Each structure stands twice: as C-alpha cells, then as structure tokens.
A and B are shown apart, each in its own frame.
Chain A
C-alpha cells in the first residue's frame, strides 16, 4: 500500500469562519472543483474542523485499511492502547470517478490515564499514529485529531467530496486539495491532507529540502513512512509548535526563514531571534516551491515559500478568511469580497478563531 515519492502540482483551497460558524461541505467542493485542471484525478481530499461536536474531546481516528486483516490488527492495537467510545464505517456513496476505495472506518478514542506514564497525552497519541503507519501492514491513519477529520482518496477532489457525502458535515474550517502527481500510482493514503493530531496540511508544491527535513524529524522519533514531502510539513508543525512550544509565528519563521540579507537589517532583538531560529532550525527550513494551508483546532495558516514559487491568493469577507491557489476558486463561492490580496513570499496569513469561541 505504501508507495513511492510523490512530486505534485496541485490545487489548494481553504476557508474559515473566525466566529466559529459551521458551514457545510458543499461550498469547499465547488471551490476546489473550479480548479479541476490543476489536478489529474489521482488524488483529492479535505480536512474539516468542528465536525464532531458531540465527541469533541475524543481523538477521532479516520482509518484506511487495505483489507480485513489490517482492520483486525489495528483494532487489536486500539483495544490495547485506547478506550474506544464508538467505531463505525465512514459514510460514503457510490460515486463515478472513485474506484476501489480501501475499508474506511472511524474510531472515537480516549487515552486511558494509567497508560500515559510520564508522556503527555498528545505524545502518546502521536506515537500510536507512527506505530500504526509503520508497523501494521495495510493500515493507514488518515487523521487523528479531536473534533476534526480528513476525507481523502484517489479521484478528482470534487468526486471525493461527493463520495464522502461532505454536504452532511459542517465545519468552521475546511481545507481541500486536488492532486497532480507526476509519477505515482494512485494511492489513497498518498492523497492530501496529511495530518497528525490536530494538524492538517494541504500542499501545492514540492519540498526540495525533503531529504534533510526527514532526517531532522527522525532525530526526534518521527517515522516518515509515506515518503511524501507533505508529511514533513505536518510533522514539523507538530514538533515546533506542540513539542518545542514555539509561538506559531516563530515556527512559521523557522519553516520559511527570513533571508540573511533581511535579518542583517533588523533591530537587535528581532535580529537575535531570527538568527537563532535559523541557527537552531536550519534543518527544518522548508525549501522549494510551496503554497500550503495548515489547519489546526484554533485556526488556519497559509504560507508560501521564501520566493513564492507557487501561487496563493487570500481574501476576506466579514469573518470569513479564504485562501486558494487561484482567485477564481474563492470568487466561485464568495463573489463579493471585502479584501483580496496575494500574500508575499514567506509571509504567513493567519486565520484565528475569536477568543470567545470555544
């Protein structure tokens, strides 16, 4: 099931209500469908936040299984390490253009306190994800965060969205992706978004620094089994923000590092921070063309590489933030916008849930 490297072309689109209003999945499908020609039918996917309010405190595992044996082995693993509150098939419908899906199943899990030992709960869950992906043949974790989920597969994104009945979910953040892989057989696990815990990443581009990003993450115990460059983005955010507790904007500054020529002109305090970030997190620098939308429980981050080798447009309307590879994909669902702009290279766009929103 695991497949070889996946350089990708792709389209991305994302939307968020900063007031936490929940929107159904039909708009995001229309937006990504607008960029149909940027994909080639070999992968599409969505991440949605706020979709499981009744089980918001549980880890929602979206699983992909090659066969019943993989399901059985994984469930054995879950029984051993988690309390399963509920498990069920992920609802799908027959959809033209989507063939041979794996077994798609979701679980709502709690971590038994007595199993934690000295680890944090999130370390425990992240270890479990690594273990399943690397050790259980034919089993792959599509997402593992709380009150969120990833829906992805092989096909055009709009077909994948229909297949998963996304119109039945409502979320305050939607991100989506259409793939144009250049040299790989279609593989469900290889579609975007890539996720770990709450983090999800949709990515247009190719990380040319993948080799060292991977080796760097491995030093901290991450297992990169999927051999795709997008995976490192999710894991780097997890490492920098969750483990190292960097403020998000500092993490972003490490990943799309400021050029030395600009650092040299900074005020002393900013210069010291920027220099230290590059000295310490040089191996985490994401180099190569990318535009990405990172989702997490409290918001979204849009980011371009340091010299903007991939397109991204952002826009706002009231409390809505939109980001997409093309402006047309935003206009498709929100023709009347307050503000539209092209984020500068390496400069993040933040969408943040209002503090009063739980």
Chain B
C-alpha cells in the first residue's frame, strides 16, 4: 500500500557548500540520502539520527522538522493522526524504541536539594575526602562481635556484597538489542570505573570473559545463554521479571538479527526469532520466584547477590516487599520512562508509573516493615543527569541504573529506531558494517568521562550538603524539597514543600 504519511523530517543540503564527497550517502543507514549528480535527500526515510550532519566535512547538512502544517487540533494532534494513518496502512501494532517521550510530569524536576549555610559548614570536595563507595547486597539487622578488648572478632557473616566506586551502574541491555562493540564498551568502562554493566537477557559473549567481576548476568524469561558457568562468571545475578518500557510483556529479537555469534551466545539456532515470554513459565507466584532465587543461590554457592528486576507498576511497593521476603538481595525498579530496543508504543507510552513515586513508595514500605536493610534498591527508568542520581539516592535508592544516558554518551541520538536494526551509530544493530563504526575503546573512554563527570558533580552536591559520604544522603529525604507539587504527591515522595524549614 502506498504510504500517505508525510516525512517527519526534512534534510536540507547546502549545495553551495557540498563538495560531493558522498560521505553522507555511505553513512546514512536509513537510505535517506542518495547521490544522483548531487546529494539528494529522501526525506521520508530520515529519522534525524544526525549521522550525515555530524560527519559532513563541510557542515552542509541540516535537518529540520517537517514544517508541514496540520489543521490545528488540541485533541487530534498530528502525532495521533499519523499513527492512525500508519495503522490503516499496516494493520499492525506500532513499534518503537527508547523510552516514553510523552509529557508526563518529571518529578525529578520538581525536587530541589538543600545546602549548608553558616550553622553547618559545607565541605570542599577538592580538599576533603568525599566518599561515594556503595555496597550492593543484603545487610543483616545488626552485627555481632565476640571476644574482648583488642581481640574482638566479627561473629556475623555478611552475605555477598558487590562494591561500587560510584553509585551508578549500566542498565541491562542485551547483546542482540545492542552490538557487541557497545557491550564491550560498557564492560571496559564498568571495570575501569569500579561499577557494573549488565548483560541483559542475551547471554554473555566469550569476548567479555575478562570482565566478569564487573558484570551482572541476567536471567530472563527466555533463559538465553543461561548455564551454571554463566551464572558463576559474574559479580551478581539478576532475574528479570519486568522492564519499565514494557511492563507485563515479553521480548522479541527478530531472526534476522540472530547471526552466528548471537546464536552461540544465546544458545539458539541462527536466524530463529528469540522470543522472551511475557512471564517466566516457571514463575506464576511469589513462591515460584523464591525457588528460582534459591536455585540460583545454590548454583552460585551463595557467593553472588541475586537481584530481581521489576517494572514500576501500581502495586510496586507490595511487590517489592514480597521480592525481598522471597530472598532477593537487590531489588531493581525500572520506571515507566525506561528505555527499550523495541516495544509496542501503546505499552511504552501508557503503562507503568514514574520511578520517583515508585522508589519513594518502595523505600517507605520496606522501612515500615523493618526490612529495608535486607535488600539494596537500584532504580532506573530515565536517570538523565547526576542531579537525578542525587535525588534518587536522597529518596532512598542505593544506586542508579543508566541505559539511555550511557548510549547517548557513545553516540546515540535517541531517534527511537532501535527496533529497525539500522542504527547508524553502530549501537542498536548487528550489521557488521554498522557495528564497526563503534570503536569499543573510544566509546569506553566516553563512558568513563561521563561517570567521572557525574562523580565530581555528586561530590560537589555532597559537599554543599555538608556531608562527606554517600550513605549520609541515602534516604535522607529531609534534604529535598518539592516545588509545584500537590500535597498528595509530596506525601508519597515523603518530602516537604519548598519554604518549609526543618
């Protein structure tokens, strides 16, 4: 069927500047630029990935939104009309990538951080120690000692703990959804920065064997690549129940992405679709989850913390409490803005709840039940900047998880076309000619720079708060104030409105 959809973007080529090097033509992976005597755009194919514009040596290309005016309509927005046109042409579910872009409230931007003045001095992070070290894992209620005087010994044996030098870890993104070079970049950066990357559900490629102390291996409903060796070659094991971008539904890696390497890593035949069922077919209740947690602990000889990842949904606090009681050492909560390689738009844009509210509710619930120490809380789902990390930790998170932000650091332009496999930056693609555009070492440097910068920024804020250790911020909601929030929202977040003192 001939598409009536107008182009989303217009590619403007300044032919006076263009010296016809064709770099743009070879670099456009969406077939939006041809060469017929001169560079000719095919506007309808353009996704605004900026590859051509970034690489043009003459800066001759700009991309603008298609100015085509639709008749005004507050209700029937152009986007809604275009989606109807798409579905009228295809009869299918609208697929999309990345996180929810809709203008729902962003609560991070309605919270402000305290600072010291006079009575308690702020601390200069360049002159004084400033500690970000964080340990993930279950903590006992208390420590017991034996012996006397200088011969005091610790009687309590702690369950396994994973050390983070910075309370920011890389999110689960599977080899399959993203390229091997992207995976390598994340692993190299995680190791260098003393933090973690997460395999996602696609197994662990053999090239990453040297990084296993910095890797969280995931067990998802498809169980791709899960062997006892896989579980033991890790810093931590994560059971993926849900994902913020698509709570309650499974995953689908199309067969055309399953090449030789992915086939071996995922342990499925070349060219077959990799289907992750919506639920784990051996988990239909909390006691089933507990069995899987302990099956993994047995397999790993109780040496690895086990994390359970869930999407932030309405009843997230009760679910998280159940997960902690089921034996998880870490609960990872993924907010409704979390990213994805591919999800139905209806799910991505309309299901789940904001991570800020989910985090506050979970932290409160676990404290009310006196079990907050029994699991660490990781949160993700659109952590965009170090300020979000600071606010998340003040609300009660142990550490934050960044997916989209880490991809942006290595070239992603958030064009939301991950599901096409045409990623021009070599990130969300398995096409070898595209993958090789991403240099793992170079990308790792950029990731390290990002974390280093965030680390400095977090230390600046700690210093201004007059504290020199991240655990004095963790859960210290007293240091946050809301602006422009309803009383109910403030109550859920457990913070006061700006203007109220202690």
Query: Which of the residues A208, A215, A245, A269 comes within 8 Å of B475, measured between beta carbons?
Result: A215
Interface: A40 (CB within 8 A): no
Task: Tell me whether A282 and B471 are in contact in the complex, defined as CB-CB below 8 angstroms, given that A182-B118, A272-B154 are known contacts.
Answer: yes
- B468/A257 in contact, CB under 8 A: no
Please tell me if A273 contacts chain B, counting CB pairs below 8 Å: yes
Would you call A246 an interface residue if the criterion is a C-beta within 8 Å of the partner chain's C-beta atoms? Answer: yes
B145 touches A208 (CB 8 A): no
Is residue B269 within 8 Å, beta carbon to beta carbon, of the partner chain? no
Chain A residues whose CB sits within 8 angstroms of the CB of B468 once the complex forms:
287, 306-307
Instruction: Name the residue in B123, B152, B472 with the highest tally of chain A Cβ atoms < 10 Å from its Cβ.
Output: B472
Decide if B475 touches A287 in the complex (CB within 8 Å): no
Contact with A along B444-486 (1 / 0, CB 8 A): 0000000000000000000001111101111111110000000
Closest residue of chain A to B149, judged by CB? A247
In the complex, which residues of chain A have a beta carbon less than 8 angstroms from the beta carbon of B475?
Answer: 211-212, 215-216, 283
Closest residue to A8 on the B side, CB-wise?
Answer: B119
A283 and B119 within 8 A (CB): no
CA distance A94 to B154 in the complex (A): 54
Question: Closest CB-CB distance, B329 to chain A, in whole Å?
Answer: 12
Measured in the bound complex, the distance between the Cα atoms of B145 and A153 in whole Å is 39
Q: A247-B145, A247-B152, A260-B133 are in contact. Are A209 and B502 (CB under 8 A)?
A: no
Whether the pair A280, B474 counts as a contact (CB closer than 8 A) is no
How many of chain B's residues have a CB under 8 angstroms from any CB in A? Answer: 43
A309 within 8 A of B: yes
Min CB–CB distance B431 → chain A (angstroms): 45
Q: A276-B154, A288-B467 are contacts. A245–B502 as well, Cβ < 8 Å? A: no
B153 touches A276 (CB 8 A): no
Chain A nearest Cβ from B477, distance in angstroms: 6
Interface string of B424-437 (1 = CB under 8 A from A): 00000000000000
The answer to whether the Cβ of A161 comes within 8 Å of any Cβ in the partner chain is no
**Is the Cβ of A287 less than 8 Å from the Cβ of B472?**
yes
Let me know if A7 is at the binding interface, CB within 8 A. Answer: yes
In the bound complex, do residue A5 and residue B501 qualify as a contact, i.e. CB atoms below 8 Å apart?
yes
CA distance A4 to B469 in the complex (A): 26
Residue A218, interface by CB 8 Å: yes
> Once the chains bind, are B466 and A289 in contact (CB under 8 Å)?
yes
In the complex, are the beta carbons of A208 and B133 less than 8 A apart? no
Q: With A206-B119, A261-B129 in contact, is A214–B478 under 8 Å at CB?
A: yes
Tell me if B1 counts as interface (CB < 8 A to partner A). no
CB pair B476–A212 under 8 Å, yes or no, is yes
Inter-chain residue pair count (beta carbon < 8 A): 124
Is A219 positioned at the interface, with any CB of B under 8 Å from its CB?
yes
Interface flags for A176-191 (1: CB within 8 Å of B; 0: not) read: 0000001100000000
Cβ contacts under 8 Å, A282 to chain B: 469, 471, 474
Q: Which of A228-254 contact B (CB under 8 A)?
A: 243-247, 250
User: Is there a chain B Cβ closer than 8 Å to A102's Cβ?
Assistant: no
Contacts of A214 in B (CB 8 A): 478
Q: Are B474 and A287 in contact (CB under 8 A)?
A: no
- The answer for the CA separation of A303 and B139 in the assembled complex, in Å, is 26
Find out whether the CB atom of B139 lies under 8 angstroms from the CB atom of A280: yes
User: Which A-chain residue is minimally distant from B122 (CB atoms)?
Assistant: A208
Q: Is B144 positioned at the interface, with any CB of A under 8 Å from its CB?
A: yes
Q: Does B80 contact A (CB under 8 A)?
A: no
B107 touches A (CB below 8 Å): no
B143–A211 contact, CB under 8 A?
no
| Binary interface encoding of chain B residues 141-167 relative to chain A, with 1 for a CB under 8 A from any of its CBs, else 0 | 011110000001110101001000000
Per the bound structure, the CA–CA distance linking A243 and B144 in Å amounts to 11
Q: How far is the CA of A280 from the CA of B133 in the complex (A)?
A: 14
CB atoms of B143 and A280 under 8 A apart: yes
Mark each residue of chain A from 255 to 283: 1 if its CB lies under 8 Å from any CB of chain B, else 0.
00101110000000100110011111111
- Quick check: is A12 within 8 A (CB to CB) of the other chain? no
How far apart are A211's CB and chain B's nearest CB, in angstroms? 3
Most A-side CB within 10 Å, residue of B123, B142, B158, B370: B142
Q: Which of B133, B154, B471 contacts A283 (CB 8 A)?
A: B471
In the complex, B373 has a CB within 8 A of chain A: yes
Chain B residues with CB under 8 Å of A5's CB are: 501-502
Q: Report A-chain residues with C-beta under 8 Å of the C-beta of B478.
A: 210-212, 214
Q: Are A285 and B472 in contact (CB under 8 A)?
A: yes
Known contacts A182-B118, A306-B468; decide if A245 and B144 are in contact (CB<8 Å).
yes
- Chain B residues whose CB sits within 8 angstroms of the CB of A243 once the complex forms: 142
CB <8 Å contact, A257 and B120:
no
Taken together as a complex, chains A and B put the C-alpha atoms of A9 and B120 apart, in Å, by 9
- Give the chain A neighbours of B152 by CB distance below 8 A: 247, 250, 273
Q: Which of A166-213 contact B (CB under 8 A)?
A: 182-183, 205-206, 208-212
Q: Does B128 contact A (CB under 8 A)?
A: yes
B131 and A259: CB pair below 8 A?
A: yes
**B362 vs chain A, min Cβ distance (A):** 14
Known: A246-B143, A285-B472, A307-B128. A279 touches B370 (CB 8 A): no
Which residues of A lie under 8 Å from residue B479 when comparing CB positions? 211
- For residue A246, give the distance in angstroms from its CB to the closest CB of chain B: 7
A229 CB to nearest chain B CB (Å): 9
Q: Does A122 contact B (CB under 8 A)?
A: no
A244-B143, A247-B145, A247-B152 known; A288 vs B477 contact (CB < 8 Å): no
When chains A and B are docked, how far (Å) is the Cα of A8 from the Cα of B118? 10
Quote the shortest CB–CB distance from B2 to chain A (angstroms): 62
A278 to B131: give the CA distance in the assembly, Å. Answer: 12
With A250-B145, A273-B154 in contact, is A212–B473 under 8 Å at CB? yes
Chain B nearest CB from A254 CB (Å) reads: 9
Asked if A279 and B161 make an inter-chain contact with CB atoms under 8 angstroms apart, the answer reads: yes
Query: Within the complex, which residue of B119, B139, B469, B476 is in contact with A211, where a contact is CB–CB below 8 Å?
Result: B476
A57 to chain B, nearest CB (A): 27
Q: Which of B116, B118, B156, B469 contacts A285 (CB 8 A)?
A: B469
Query: Cβ of A298 < 8 Å from any Cβ of B?
Result: no
What is the CA–CA distance of A260 and B474 in the complex, to the nearest angstrom?
Answer: 17
B294 at the interface (CB under 8 A from A): no
Task: Say if the beta carbon of B108 comes within 8 Å of chain A.
Answer: no
**B121 within 8 Å of A by Cβ?**
yes
| A307→B367 contact, CB < 8 A | no
Are B121's CB and A276's CB within 8 A?
no
User: Given contacts A5-B501, A261-B129, A269-B153, are A288 and B466 in contact (CB under 8 A)?
Assistant: yes
A–B Cβ pairs within 8 angstroms, 17 of them: A9-B119, A208-B120, A208-B465, A208-B472, A210-B478, A215-B367, A227-B502, A259-B129, A279-B139, A279-B161, A280-B140, A282-B474, A285-B469, A285-B471, A285-B472, A289-B466, A307-B128
In the A-B complex, the 5 residue pairs with the closest CB atoms: A5-B502, A211-B478, A282-B471, A211-B476, A209-B472
Measured CB to CB, the residues of A under 8 A from B are 4-9, 182-183, 205-206, 208-212, 214-216, 218-220, 227, 243-247, 250, 257, 259-261, 269, 272-273, 276-283, 285, 287-289, 306-307, 309
If A218-B367, A219-B373 are given as contacts, then 12 extra A-B residue pairs at C-beta distance below 8 Å, sorted by A number, are: A6-B502, A214-B478, A244-B143, A246-B143, A250-B145, A257-B469, A273-B152, A278-B471, A279-B139, A280-B156, A283-B471, A307-B129
